[in-house]
Amino acid sequence: MTPHYIPFYNYQTMAERISKLPASAMGGIYRVFRKDKYAQPVALKLSGYVHPDFHPHGISVVASGDDTFLYVVNHRRDGEFLSVFKLDMDRNELQYWTSITAESFRVINNVAVDPNGHFYYTNWMSNDPGSWTGLFETFGDGKLSQVQYCAVPADFLRKRPSKNVQAACETVVDQVPCNGISFNADFSKLFVVSGSHLLGYHVDPNNPTVLTEYATINTIFVCDNVNPSGSQKNIMYVGCFPRPLSLLFQVQSEPHARIAGMIRKVYIDEKRSELFKLDTNGTKLSAATSAIYYKGYTVAVSYFDDSRYMVCDDVHRNDRMH
């Protein structure tokens, strides 16, 4: 979603900010290719998407048989939805599948999908992050956020629904700060970014609503989104903010100032994290919010950095901005 910054004294809710965007304002999803050293982003065409606006936020990719699906957090004007697409890699096209809604959807941050199409998601806050109550919640002892598990019909990824799907959801983690969320590579564990910690849970394969604590991993700094490595077993990467107060106040200006960003490497088995990359003044990437590593390349993005993303060639030690 294109950021819409406003002065601090003119605090507005997310719905109000979206309503002020032009009716034609549409977010986009891009694909980058390793063969091009991730230097050429390709916009994925939205095929069959029937709604007037598209404001993507969190995203989760899952393989089901020979097909690949994307679940996208979509802050539409008419509410919070998960928009589901089937990826046609040959055509670089996202074929609209359906939208998922639930009475419990509040302010969705991110989603983690299992191979059957069921998913966990984070209700980021109890109050809208653009409201004064949301601001006070942020400065409180802990955001009143939660993780919920939602089930979809058994044939959801095999048979396209004829209309929106109403998911059945229940809370599995409550009353702790919850931002990014992701499975590990084999779907046996679920990880939730919670302030300056990464909460790890064992997932019961027979009852996914049952999560048992695996570890609380210290990330030192407040972080945002976490992703498993695409080529390293039991490794994850998380985008963090080494100067969170600076972040809070600088993003209220437009154009905003460069903001320090960090990527931390998480060792799942060792239950620890370490510094992987640091940009002390935001010149490479302003406030990294998400990162992934695959076979010698790190790709990082930021909600706060408009149309740029960062590619690190860790084999030849080159950093590039695109």
Tens digits of per-residue pLDDT, 134-193?
A: 666 666 655 668 999 999 999 999 999 989 999 989 999 987 888 999 999 999 999 999
Residue pair 224/290 in contact (Cβ under 8 Å)? The answer is yes
Q: What is the pTM of this model?
A: 0.88
- How many C-beta atoms lie closer than 10 Å to residue 39's C-beta? 11
Distance CA 161, CA 167 (A): 12
Beta strand 189-194 with 222-228 is unpaired
Name 76's bridge partners. 79
| 8 Å CB contact between 236 and 276 | no
Encode the chain (322 residues) as per-residue pLDDT tens digits: 333 333 343 455 666 767 777 777 788 999 998 888 888 899 999 999 999 889 999 999 999 999 999 999 999 888 899 999 999 999 999 999 999 999 999 889 999 999 999 999 998 766 666 666 666 666 665 566 899 999 999 999 999 998 999 998 999 998 788 899 999 999 999 999 998 999 999 999 999 999 999 999 999 999 999 999 988 989 999 999 887 666 665 555 555 567 888 999 999 999 999 999 998 888 888 888 999 999 899 999 988 877 788 999 887 666 665 5
Whether 290 and 273 have beta carbons less than 8 Å apart is answered as no
Distance between the two ends of the chain, CA-based, in angstroms? 18
Q: Which of 322, 320, 267 is closest to 31 using CA atoms?
A: 322
Residue type, 295: K
Element (H, E) at 82: strand 79-88
- CA count, 13 A, side-chain hemisphere, 264: 26
